Structure 1
Amino acid sequence: MSSVPSGRPLAIVVVGASGDLAVRKIFPALFALDARGTLPPETRFFGFARSTLSDEAFRGRLAPGLRCEELPGSVCGQRQRAFLPRCRYVPGAYDRPVDLARLRREVAAACGPAADVLYYFAIPPALFGPVAQSMRGAGILRADDDGTGWDRVVIEKPFGRDRASSDALSAVLKGCFREEQIYRIDHYLGKEVIQNLLVLRFANTVFEPVWNRDHIRHVHLCWSEDIPLAGRAGYFDTTGIIRDVMQNHLTQMLALVAMECPWGLDARHIRDEKVRLLRQVVPLTRDRCLLGQYTAGTRQGQAVAGYREEPGVPATSRTATYASAVFEVRSPRWRGVPFHVSAAKGAATRCTEIRIHFKAPDHDLFRPLLARGDRDGAPLRDNELVIRVQPDAQILLRVVGKRPGPGFTLDTPALDLSYREAYAGARIGDAYENLLLDVVRGDRSLFIRDDELEAAWDLFTPLLHAIDAGNDEPHPYPFGSGGPEAR
């Protein structure tokens, strides 16, 4: 695939355009790209869904979410007025090839038959297969980019419920598209600090020589949210925290932290190393995982219902809203280093971060002072690298140093790189903006390849089957707490 614009007209089709994901995330990201001039001039945008909407009604739904914070209000208004007339809505059924053929005719009429077309599946996973088969049945997919335009399709996680269902979905998709046309998106890979992981590791002499079992005690990857599930509870109850967060977001973070240096920065080399790493990770079993479920608690002083009291959740649900596990990586670099992974809904804070805990120095020079603690007697930490993804992108390195004043009193200050401060004035793009632009450019580095997806599911499928077949009650924890006490 080319990594540069083709010079042809571009059409972006959002399938499921009347849904929350499309209105809240996809179209605002497309507008931001268009407003900055990073898409081809006069790119056209199409929404396709079952709802009956006029073009004007569709544009009315999109307008409130179109923001450009870095531009004056008058300029932003001009960009909105330039964007919205290029948004069209085509109603139709997802499983009717005749409706998909009509959509393609609308695209060709607006952009020409040789336009490049990006299809974004903002629909439930159960519809991925039917829509793909309808597209094939309608005969609207071009076999290759031979100068007559390309077709690319973006699909959102979850990609199945286990290895078998994921393989079945992949077989359907690859019966309709070539693997090179499929862009499996995990929006976490579009976040700037996640993209910075390879640079941080392999472009800095200070880290790469100590990024191994000789110098690192353990690694912790954690994800938490502090808001109720609200309208998503019914969907979440069929999914659970492991399928919703751990098998995708946290597994991708694990791969980037632990993989070996790729031969190059092209998509194939980066993804080859991620797959190689994932195949060295020992699959999880039930005894290596703790599950929890939040009960009633508080958020910002307000009472919050327990998970089982959420609308759409059965009163006897055993779906986990919390999970923690320990991964073992059987590679020369990481043998013996535990990778702790945790994810929680209904937590005390919203936070996603990677913590690299380094070992203490081998010599004894400062050991008595370290044992004494800081000036308040609190224990001193070993060196720790914290890579914070959210709420604010930040990299902190905790080091041991001497506090100012007489004698030797040690402390562990943090060297702090805040993206907001370090890159003041620079616009840090939304993850969806970054990834959508990569699809247009044909850069597949941050998208998940089929064998990578297989390797990720292999890590969790035995655990998920054991959980689904068992009768274990998840450990309760109050909403707004740090998780189950059993941990």
Structure 2
Amino acid sequence: MIMPTAEELHVTPVATPAAMQAERVPDPCIIVIFGASGDLTKRKLLPALYHLEQAGLLPDKISVVGVARRPLQDTFANDMKEGIIAGGGVDESDPKLAPFVGKIQYHAMNFDDPSGYDALNTLLGQIDQKNGTCGNRLFYLAVAPEYFSDIIKFLGQHGMSKPCEPTEGRTPWVRVIIEKPFGHDLESARALNDEVNKVFDEDQIFRIDHYLGKETVQNILVFRFANGIFENSWNRNYIDHVEITAAESIGIEGRGPFYETAGALRDVVQNHVMELLSFVAMEPPVSFEAAAVRAEKVKVWKAVSPIHPADTVRGQYGPGTVDGQHVVGYRQEDRVHPRSQTETYAALRLEIENWRWAGVPFYIRAGKRLAKRVTEITIQFKLPPLLLFKDHEGEAAEGIKPNLISMRIQPDEGISLRFGAKVPGAGMNISPVNMDFSYAEAFGKSSANGYERLLLDAMLGDATLFAHRDGVEATWALMTPILQAWAKDPVKDFPNYAAGTWGPPAADALLESENRKWRKL
């Protein structure tokens, strides 16, 4: 296969409007992280905040307060420093590091203890007076879902959910970021939305999905709407089908109790994959304001026809080999029921009933312990209506393959376009070739983890890349009937795929019944 290099294709980085725009620096504020003793804070959130500091995108007057139950007052800031160095690719001698670590504090409390919130409120007031953070608060709920309701309720009861009164030249703000999972079905998601909306207005709520912080996800919109050569053919007239794959080679990483209540459909498909689907399928918004983008995404989800259980496949991995190492099956993992019915793999076929996509199938798959780690979107186009190039038997020439656009979200982020080209020589031989764009080659490798953009947007009040309650409930409305159908019909052949493979045979049959195959990744 011919693989042109970036130089041969003249792919060169150029100054973009995003790179040239004025820096967006938020108002002075306090970032309060509930569940700060957890892995997310050390490995992702603090490194992301420090990357913003390095880029000059944080205000001088900013404070970070970690909140958790354990007494970590003496070690927390230094522990976060270690996380910034190890997880953020930061040099220990970076001159900005020590001043930034000096802005980190810790507050120990139980999340269901009212007195702890009184003490926290007092601490935040003291920081306001000392550092001039003006009453601006960003609360981040990096906690298990069972604590969401208590924390939200007590923030409201202790007067921390509403901003202070505006003063001359200043309009204080209070916002809350809530991690997934946001509910475990449609009913629970609605109930949680109602609880949160009793305390916070919808424009204060930022439901986070870290996938949307990835540059490659945001680039789907740029690829579609900034390039006329693609948008004109982005419809049922030219596209045969769409595949979305979210594959992981790792297992459940010691999270048995969590995964037993989640499974692949709840953990990945309802949020990450459905977000990718919306970016691929949405209509052009009237602007890139949050309300306009969210509205188009919701239209996509609401246009998806009810998914019949016959168009779904579930799997669970058994023992196998991953990267040359033998690994146990899901039922042998720590704190997993020996006869568990939890799916570690899910595949769906769905259709979007609107003018652009009617009749175009979307195939989705996500799973643990698959052959490799890769998240990719593949757009397969229809073959030309008249095949001019044929073999001696009158069949289509072997090298004629459907055109593909593949968008690699992770790893090796980039975009590939497959098309047919003549092989040099006397005959009319055709071979598929790829035109590849690599983020790393064009723009250099980045140590960003995706949370940088989302944290910055939340501080700025830009909710474009966050979920609205309408969107959360729309995706749960699609997934809940599948979950209910699966619960009524236990699987008799779990485990049904070996670790290190691409999932159960039934997932292949889902496409083969329509004379299609999953793209080899």
Structure-1 residue corresponding to 2:115: 98
Aligned residue for 1:373?
398
Matched, 1:33 2:52: yes
Matches within 5 A, 1:75-154: 75-76=93-94, 78-112=95-129, 114-143=134-163, 146=166, 147-154=170-177
362-371 or 165-174, which deviates more: 362-371
Query: Which deviates more from structure 2 when the two are superposed, residues 382-391 or residues 6-15?
Result: 6-15
State the Cα distance separating 1:356 from its structure 2 match: 0.1
Distance 1:98 1:257, change over 3 A: same
Q: Report the CA distance between 1:209 and its aligned residue.
A: 0.9
Q: For residues 262 and 394 of structure 1, do their structure 2 counterparts lie closer, same or farther at Cα, with a shift above 3 Å needed? A: same
**Aligned residue in 2 for 1:417:** 437
- The reply to whether residue 396 of structure 1 matches residue 416 of structure 2 is yes
Superposition TM-score, scaled by structure 2 size: 0.88
Say whether residues 1:430 and 2:455 are aligned partners: no
Match of 1:377 in 2: none
User: TM (normalized to structure 1)?
Assistant: 0.93
Mapped to 2, the partners of 1:135 and 1:100 lie a distance apart of 7
**For 1:294 and 1:69, how far apart are their aligned partners in 2?**
30
Q: 1:163 aligns with which of 172, 178, 186?
A: 186
Residue in 2 aligned with 1:19?
Answer: 38
- Secondary structure of 1:198's counterpart equals helix
- Range with greater deviation from structure 2 (155-164 or 363-372): 363-372
What's 2:515 paired with?
none
- Alpha carbons 1:396, 1:414 under 8 Å: kept: yes
State the shift of 1:160 in Å: 0.5
Change (3 A) 1:152 1:70: closer
Determine helix, strand or coil for the equivalent of 1:311.
Answer: coil
Amino-acid identity (%): 38
Q: Is the 8 A contact 2:135 2:163 kept in 1?
A: no
Per the alignment, do residues 318 and 69 of structure 1 end up closer, same or farther by CA in structure 2, a change over 3 Å counting? closer
Match of residue 256, structure 1, among 270, 274, 279: 279
Deviates more, 1:213-222 or 1:195-204: 195-204
Distance in 2 of aligned mates of 1:159 and 1:26: 19
Does the 8 A contact of 2:162 with 2:200 survive in 1? no
List alignment gaps of at least 5 residues for structure 2. Answer: 1-21, 508-521
- The answer to whether 1:408 aligns with 2:428 is yes
The Cα of 1:424 is off from its aligned counterpart by 2.7
1:203 Cα deviation from its structure 2 partner: 1.2
SS of aligned partner of 2:102: helix
CA deviations over 1:292-334 (Å, ceiling 9, x no partner): 0000111222210110000110001010001101011101111
Following the alignment from structure 1 to structure 2, what is the Cα–Cα distance between the partners of residues 165 and 350? 31
CA shift in 2, pair 1:471/1:68, >3 Å = closer
| Distance 1:465-1:274 versus aligned 2 partners, 3 A rule | same
After TM superposition, give the deviation of residue 470 of structure 1 in Å. Answer: 2.5
- Asked whether the equivalents of residues 50 and 93 of structure 1 are also in contact (C-alpha less than 8 Å), the reply is yes
SS of the equivalent of 2:96 reads: helix
Q: Are the aligned partners of 1:32 and 1:67 in contact in 2 as well (CA < 8 Å)?
A: no
What is the distance in 1 between the residues matched to 2:207 and 2:61? 26
Amino acid at match of 1:90: H
For residue 291 of structure 1, what is the aligned residue in structure 2?
Answer: 314
Residue equivalent to 2:362: 339
Would you say 1:190 and 2:209 are equivalent positions? Answer: no
Partner letter of residue 22 of structure 1?
T
Q: Distance in 1 between matches of 2:97 and 2:164?
A: 34
Gaps (5+ residues) in structure 1? 375-379
Moved over 4 A (4+): 3-8, 68-72, 367-370
Q: Which amino acid aligns with 1:361?
A: P
CA distance in 2, matches of 1:360, 1:484: 29
Verify: 1:237 aligned to 2:260, yes or no.
yes
Structure 1 residue identity aligned to 2:461: G
1:145–1:219: structure 2 CA closer, same or farther, 3 Å change rule?
A: farther
Structure 1 Cα separation of the partners of residues 209 and 404 of structure 2: 27
- Judged with a 3 Å threshold, the aligned counterparts in structure 2 of structure 1 residues 5 and 38 are, in CA distance, closer, same or farther, namely closer
Q: 1:162·1:460 contact (CA, 8 Å) conserved in 2?
A: yes
Cα distance, 1:68–1:318 mapped onto 2, change above 3 Å: closer
> SS of 1:278's equivalent?
helix
Contact map agreement 2:26 2:459 (CA 8 A) in 1:
no
Following TM superposition, by how much is the alpha carbon of 1:44 offset from its aligned partner in structure 2, in angstroms?
0.7
Q: Which residue of 2 aligns with 1:67?
A: 85
Cα offset for 1:469?
A: 2.8
In the TM superposition, residue 80 of structure 1 has moved relative to its aligned partner by 2.2
- Show the counterpart of 2:328: 305
Hey, what's the Cα distance between the residues in 1 that align with 2:24 and 2:158?
27
Kept in 2: contact 1:9–1:111 (CA 8 A): no
Aligned to 1:471: 490
SS in 1 for 2:316: strand
After TM superposition, the structure 1 stretch with the greater mean CA deviation from structure 2, 62-71 or 150-159, is 62-71
Tell me the amino acid that sits aligned with residue 115 of structure 1.
G
Alignment of 1:181 onto 2:200: no
Residues 1:70 and 1:178: Cα distance change in structure 2 (over 3 Å): closer
